């Protein structure tokens, strides 16, 4: 047990990674906390499992660490509390390599006999956890590497972050900051927004507010019935206000249908934009009544494509997003990159005094209090987007569906193999599109030159038709246009036969008697113009 009012420690300590070492380090940094108290909370167990999966070998404890986010919260709230909470934190760094405190000390002192090197530290770096000097909610800014790459598992919203330790720049190639709510200046929604803003801040160059600043921005125009600080939660409307506070536009999305949840998450996450997902948490079993635990918000950062592709209900349009079977979220009550598995079938559940509900649901890592499981029923998703992104997914999907229909139709009479396409529909930018095209596209000659040199809007919806994993066709829609506008920026066919056929049709779209939809005409016109 310790009070962090003053730091009696040496500047750092390196210890072998074990769960005991992790819990001791957290308890030592917290305010009047015991190891049992830390172990009783689910974060320590979750972090231990996660770090073991990453292969943690050594913890370097950096005492007396100034964390900007905590300092903002401290200045706004904790400094006026009667207990003497410290304004300094402790940062725990994790490395996959094993080295001793003595070996690290030799490196810091630049001793000629040092075996640890800056390069070795950097390549073994797994990330850090800031421990706040508070009594209960101690897990502050946490940047840990994502799970290792695996077929189908992607974290599009994660990006590289660096940390400085003893003059060494340590890089985490793929992460996004996480922290648990302190239930004072931040509830779950604030923590989720805080993580989202770390990605949008990089993408759209806006300052990243601290949890306190987010809660203030969310509530100053929309005061809750109770006081804003200590904060007990935000509504979607308040979250939208916080998003406007950083200069972005909130886009609330209904995700009560399983396929729409997947479509929206896939479309925006692939543009490196994490989303806040609001869920109803329910606890129970199929044999008992379910109990509502309340509404919870998490930040969605990644997904797994492990399910077979299926057509969008009532259509023959097959989207790559339909393969999504798991999502990875920063759940402030669980930990970073927590897995939530989507169920294939709707959950039938009844809450006390309520009617029977049928809804899609996902697994969670929350412990059940009745020996069953805690499931999450999606309520809404909230994206924070740049104001120039105006065209939404349904508008794009309608046009993609028209093109898919046309491809099927002409395959009934010609050997083009366009009758089983899978469409990858995502938001992107002209920069990303051109980089991907230059690095990976089979496009050559004048069409490649056109694609790389053509002036295009900054934001694009990209719909790639795939035959297996081979791209056949790319439709690019101007995401900055208006719904009633042309919207089509470019169209490229990667298969020469398909290109020749579509070009011939595109060159004669207005010939007497030729029937095709407006969306297809627009796509073919763009294809003709691309040479």
Partner 1 sequence: MKLQREKSDARQIAQDVLQWLGTEEARQATAEGERNLAELARRFEQARAIDARELHEPFTV
Q: Which helix (H) or strand (E) holds 153?
A: strand 153-154
The yes or no reply on residue 257 touching partner 1 (CB under 8 A) is yes
The yes or no reply on residue 281 touching partner 1 (CB under 8 A) is yes
Closest by CA to 101, choosing from 59, 54, 133, 41, is 59
Stretch that binds partner 1, among 112-120, 405-413, 440-448, 459-467 (CB under 8 A): 405-413
Beta carbon nearer to partner 1, 60 or 301: 301
Distances (CA, A) of 169 to 120, 165, 309, 490: 12, 7, 42, 42
The yes or no reply on residue 514 touching partner 1 (CB under 8 A) is yes
| 294-313 positions binding partner 1, by CB under 8 A | 294-297
Q: Compute the half-sphere exposure of residue 149: CA atoms within 13 Å on the CB side of its CA.
A: 4
The yes or no reply on residue 406 touching partner 1 (CB under 8 A) is yes
How far is the C-alpha of 7 from the C-alpha of 88, rounded, in Å? 9
Beta carbon nearer to partner 1, 21 or 503: 503
Tokens 């921005």, residue? 217
Q: Provide the CA 488 distance to its chain's centre, in angstroms.
A: 28
Of 117, 237, 285, 288, the residue at the interface with partner 1 (CB under 8 A) is 237
The yes or no reply on residue 516 touching partner 1 (CB under 8 A) is yes
Name, in order, each residue with C-beta under 8 angstroms of 51's C-beta and a sequence gap of 6 or more: 17, 22, 94, 126, 144
Of 47, 60, 380, 425, the residue at the interface with partner 1 (CB under 8 A) is 380
Distances (CA, A) of 42 to 49, 216, 293: 11, 28, 17
How far is the C-alpha of 96 from the C-alpha of 45, rounded, in Å? 19
Tell me, by CB under 8 A, how many residues bind partner 1. 60
Helical segments of 13-164, H only: 19-29, 35-39, 42-54, 68-76, 101-108, 118-123
The yes or no reply on residue 10 touching partner 1 (CB under 8 A) is no
DSSP assignments along 456-471, one per residue: --SEEEEEEEEETTEE
Beta carbon nearer to partner 1, 49 or 315: 315
Name, in order, each residue with C-beta under 8 angstroms of 531's C-beta and a sequence gap of 6 or more: 446, 447, 450
| 182-201 positions binding partner 1, by CB under 8 A | 187-189
How far is the C-alpha of 5 from the C-alpha of 366, rounded, in Å? 33
Of 113, 413, 439, 453, the residue at the interface with partner 1 (CB under 8 A) is 413
Residue window 385-404: x/- pattern of binding to partner 1, with contact defined by CB under 8 A = ---------x--xx--xx--
CB of 346 to partner 1, least distance (A): 15
Beta carbon nearer to partner 1, 121 or 391: 391
CB of 397 to partner 1, least distance (A): 7
Stretch that binds partner 1, among 12-20, 165-173, 444-452, 492-500 (CB under 8 A): 492-500
- Give the interface with partner 1 as residue ranges (CB under 8 A): 187-189, 224, 232-238, 240, 252-254, 257, 260, 278, 281, 293-297, 314-315, 333, 379-380, 394, 397-398, 401-402, 405-406, 409-416, 496-497, 500-501, 503-505, 508, 511-517, 519
């Amino acid at each position: 047990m310790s009070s962090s009012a003053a730091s009696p420690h040496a500047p750092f300590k390196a210890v072998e990674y074990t769960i005991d070492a992790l819990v001791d380090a957290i308890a030592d940094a917290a305010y009047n906390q015991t190891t049992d108290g830390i172990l009783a909370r689910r974060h320590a167990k979750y972090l231990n499992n996660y770090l073991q999966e990453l292969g943690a070998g050594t913890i370097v404890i950096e005492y007396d660490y100034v964390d900007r986010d905590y300092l903002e919260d401290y200045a706004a709230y904790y400094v006026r509390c009667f207990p003497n909470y410290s304004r300094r934190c402790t940062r725990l760094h994790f490395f996959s390599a094993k080295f001793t405190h003595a070996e690290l000390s030799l490196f810091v002192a630049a001793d000629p006999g040092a075996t640890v090197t800056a390069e070795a530290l950097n390549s073994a770096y797994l990330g850090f956890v800031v421990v706040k000097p508070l009594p209960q909610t101690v897990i502050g800014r946490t940047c840990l590497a994502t799970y290792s790459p695996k077929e189908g598992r992607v974290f599009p919203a994660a990006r590289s972050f660096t940390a400085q330790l003893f003059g060494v720049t340590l890089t985490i190639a793929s992460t996004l900051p996480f922290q648990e709510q302190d239930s004072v200046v931040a509830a779950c929604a604030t923590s989720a927004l805080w993580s989202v803003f770390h990605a949008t801040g990089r993408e759209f160059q806006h300052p990243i507010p601290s949890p306190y600043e987010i809660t203030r921005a969310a509530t100053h125009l929309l005061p809750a019935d109770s006081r804003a600080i200590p904060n007990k939660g935000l509504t979607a409307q308040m979250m939208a206000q916080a998003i406007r506070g950083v200069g972005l536009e909130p886009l609330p999305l209904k995700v009560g249908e399983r396929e729409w949840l997947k479509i929206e998450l896939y479309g925006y996450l692939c543009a490196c934009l994490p989303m806040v997902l609001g869920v109803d948490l329910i606890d129970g079993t199929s044999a008992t009544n379910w109990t509502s635990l309340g509404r919870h918000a998490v930040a969605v950062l990644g997904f797994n494509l492990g399910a077979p592709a299926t057509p969008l209900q009532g259509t023959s349009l097959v989207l790559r997003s339909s393969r999504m079977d798991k999502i990875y979220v920063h759940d402030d009550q669980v930990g970073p990159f927590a897995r939530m598995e989507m169920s294939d079938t709707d959950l039938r559940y009844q809450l006390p005094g309520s009617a029977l509900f049928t809804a899609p649901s996902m697994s969670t890592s929350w412990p059940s209090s009745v020996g069953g499981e805690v499931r999450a029923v999606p309520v809404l998703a909230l994206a924070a987007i740049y104001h120039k992104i105006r065209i939404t997914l349904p508008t794009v999907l309608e046009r993609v569906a028209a093109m898919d229909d046309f491809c099927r139709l002409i395959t009934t009479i010609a050997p083009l193999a366009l009758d089983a396409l899978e469409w990858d529909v995502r938001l992107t930018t002209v920069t990303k599109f051109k980089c991907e095209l230059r690095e990976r596209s089979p496009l050559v000659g004048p069409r490649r030159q056109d694609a790389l040199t053509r002036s295009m809007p900054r934001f694009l919806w990209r719909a790639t038709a795939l035959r297996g994993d081979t791209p056949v066709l790319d439709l690019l829609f101007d995401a900055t246009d208006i719904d009633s506008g042309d919207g089509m920026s470019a169209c490229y066919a990667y298969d020469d036969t398909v290109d020749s056929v579509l070009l011939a049709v595109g060159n004669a779209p207005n010939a007497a008697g030729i029937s095709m939809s407006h969306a297809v005409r627009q796509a073919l016109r763009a294809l003709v113009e691309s040479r």
